[in-house]
Structure 1
Amino acid sequence: MSFGEIFIILIPIFFVILLGFIAGNRGIFNKETSKGINTLVTKIALPAHLFVGITTTSRQTIFDKAPFLGALLIGVIGFFIVVLLVTKWTSRYDFVQSTMFSLNSTQPTFAFMGIPVMGSIFGAEAIAIPIALMGIIVNAVLDPMSTIFGTVGTRNKNSQSDENKESILKVTGKSILHGLTEPLACVPIIGLILVLVFNFQLPELGEKSLDQIGDVVSGVALFAVGVTIGINKIKLSLSAFSIAILKAIVQPLAMVGIAYALGLTHNDFVQAVLLVSFPGSAVATMIAIRFKSLETEVASAFVISAILSIVTLPFLITAIM
């Protein structure tokens, strides 16, 4: 597939993002109203779409994705841990700041850009399982892990009392439970259990019913990305650029090496790389804001990585296809 063909595929995608940007920048949507769009996508429409994709897939096809899952675990969780350690050892950031820096350098906007971008290349049905697996890794592992690390770092700065140490256990349990109850984690998990354990296949009526809401994912998700970019102001800094470059360039290149080393099939190879090549996640930004750590830097990095992806995505797709 040539660069021109890839660019033609991406033009409508970036056009919808631009519309969302204008709406956010002009004040048609603000931080409060944009939450409604994000909630629709992440808690209703996308989970419905993924459930259909999983429960209309054969058990063997899911089993065949085991190497792909391994690549995602290394490319997401492994990358997060490496960046965290390097940042903590080589910078003046404390543990909380290093965690937020690493999280925002790692977590992609897979839920919003995965379906329109990858669906345009492979078809919507073919990418349901890859996106579902990424959803489980991010929502059930990466975000809870970052929340736990952030809490530990915050409390260690304030106190070393036994009471706080005991409360960390509660925080750990709550963080994991919260991650598992997120629709983007629990719905794919339920779908996988139904298929793998019970060999369940969704009836046609159920598929058509869920598709009524699931089919809105592509356009609405892209618009939501644009709105989020439009309502955030950019403050250029070395940290913001570092996060954006790690997210948009370094992590995809690292995944190329991981996928190649694990011997993934061509389609799995391309999908694994693309899933980590999307811009940084607004969810990761919100976690940093929750801990009052690098708020301006990560918000700016989100916008910078989104702009950077306009250039990197066409070149990356052309190179790996």
Structure 2
Amino acid sequence: MSIAVIAESIIILFLLMGVGYLCRRTGVIGPDGARGLSSFVVNVSLPALILMAMQVPLTAELVANAGGILFGIAVFYGVSFAIAFTIPRFIAESDLEQGVMRFMLVFSNLGFMGIPVAGAVFGPEAIFYVSIFNLTFSILLFSVGVLMLRPDMGRYLDPKLFLNTGLIASVAGLVLFALQVHIPSPFADVFTLLGTTTTPLAMVVVGALLATMPIEGIFTDKKIWVITILRLCVIPLAVFLILRPFVEGPFLLGIPVLLAAMPVAANAVMLAEEYHVDATIASKGVFLTTILSLITLPLITLLIT
């Protein structure tokens, strides 16, 4: 059952990329269309998704497992950051390319793929734990993630770099979560509807960008293969080996490992476009890691179950 859900999630992503590819090739999406869609995702739909993802209850189970969850998050991102700030410096051709590679190694597809796959592997209770990981993901994405993509701007500590709707939504969502304040309808409904457009639009943009590059270049790019192996194999295995002696149970051990094994987040392409860095390498990374995760995710699932 879980492998079927994994396959279905990946097939959906590829079909959405195919829509974007065809739209760009046929002129439905013009040269500036992909950038406009990217800007909408980064500034509107993704912040809405983040805000609603943080609307989760603070339960007794969460309090009891708080230490294990925090430890899992620390290991998850500790391993990711350690690898991201080591390997890319040896294979990247520029600081900006190095930043995109670091982003791809730290931020995996926790949202669209993480939630259904974790639910299929561990049951519906797992979705709550994935949501907690998404809290950290959302805050890091629009703070440290932006600095990764634009290290040149970070050197001057420009505060405008952090004045973005994504970080504002993350902070607001965290405050609402801590205070256990729930957004009332119809505002919650509007945010939810906007958030649901994030994944399809993101994958359409990836497909549109892929339409502008030779497909064979994706499979012959050695740098992308290095990132893919690290993202899909090395990082999740390292998280597993570090966590295994200290925690047990499907949630505290299995969920961090499974989420670490997800392909590159499509947000890499959106933010690369938004902050005017090379989105080509990000598109290659999303494409290759997503297709190969059809092989690696079932293997990781067997390891943790």
- TM-score tier, shorter chain, comes to 0.7 to 0.9
What does residue range 154-165 of structure 1 map to in structure 2 within 5 Å? Answer: none
Question: Could you say which residue in structure 2 is the equivalent of 1:214?
Answer: 195
Q: Secondary structure at the match of 1:55?
A: coil
Question: Could you say which residue in structure 2 is the equivalent of 1:164?
Answer: none
Q: Does 1:105 pair with 2:105?
A: yes
- Match of residue 170, structure 2, among 188, 193, 206: 188
Question: Could you say which residue in structure 2 is the equivalent of 1:316?
Answer: 300
Measure how far apart 1:192 and its partner are.
Answer: 1.6
Unaligned runs of 5+ in 1: 153-167
| The structure with more radius of gyration | 1
Question: Could you say which residue in structure 2 is the equivalent of 1:140?
Answer: 143
Q: CA RMSD in A?
A: 4.0
Identity of aligned residues (%): 19
- Match of residue 238, structure 1, among 222, 231, 235: 222
Measure how far apart 1:34 and its partner are.
Answer: 1.9
Q: Name the amino acid aligned to 2:196.
A: D
Q: Secondary structure at the match of 2:142?
A: helix
Measure how far apart 1:72 and its partner are.
Answer: 3.4
What does residue range 49-88 of structure 1 map to in structure 2 within 5 Å? Answer: 49-58=49-58, 64-65=65-66, 67-86=68-87, 88=89
Measure how far apart 1:252 and its partner are.
Answer: 2.3
CA contact (8 A) 1:42 1:111 kept: no
Distance 1:135 1:62, change over 3 A: farther
Distance 1:281 1:62, change over 3 A: same
Task: Give the stretch that moved more between structures: 305-314 or 244-253.
Answer: 305-314
CA contact (8 A) 1:84 1:102 kept: yes
Q: Secondary structure at the match of 2:237?
A: helix
CA distance in 2, matches of 1:38, 1:111: 17
Q: Name the amino acid aligned to 1:184.
A: G
Distance 1:93 1:75, change over 3 A: farther
Q: Name the amino acid aligned to 2:157.
A: T
Q: Secondary structure at the match of 2:47?
A: helix
Measure how far apart 1:134 and its partner are.
Answer: 1.0
CA distance in 1, matches of 2:246, 2:145: 22
Q: Name the amino acid aligned to 1:105.
A: L
1:245-274 CA-partner distances (Å, limit 9, x unpaired): 212222222233344355265235444334
CA distance in 1, matches of 2:231, 2:189: 36
TM-score calculated relative to the size of structure 1? 0.70
Distance 1:32 1:315, change over 3 A: farther
Measure how far apart 1:290 and its partner are.
Answer: 7.0
Question: Could you say which residue in structure 2 is the equivalent of 1:201?
Answer: 182
Measure how far apart 1:24 and its partner are.
Answer: 4.0
What does residue range 235-314 of structure 1 map to in structure 2 within 5 Å? Answer: 235=217, 236-261=220-245, 263=247, 265-281=249-265, 284=268, 287=272, 300-314=284-298
Measure how far apart 1:66 and its partner are.
Answer: 5.5
Measure how far apart 1:241 and its partner are.
Answer: 1.4
CA contact (8 A) 2:18 2:207 kept: yes
CA contact (8 A) 2:147 2:153 kept: no
Measure how far apart 1:193 and its partner are.
Answer: 1.5
Structure whose residues are more often helix by fraction = 1
CA contact (8 A) 1:248 1:305 kept: yes
CA contact (8 A) 1:50 1:128 kept: no
Q: Name the amino acid aligned to 1:257.
A: L
Q: Name the amino acid aligned to 2:184.
A: P
CA distance in 1, matches of 2:226, 2:282: 10
Measure how far apart 1:33 and its partner are.
Answer: 1.1
Measure how far apart 1:19 and its partner are.
Answer: 3.0
Question: Could you say which residue in structure 1 is the equivalent of 2:157?
Answer: 172
Distance 1:178 1:95, change over 3 A: closer
CA contact (8 A) 2:103 2:268 kept: yes
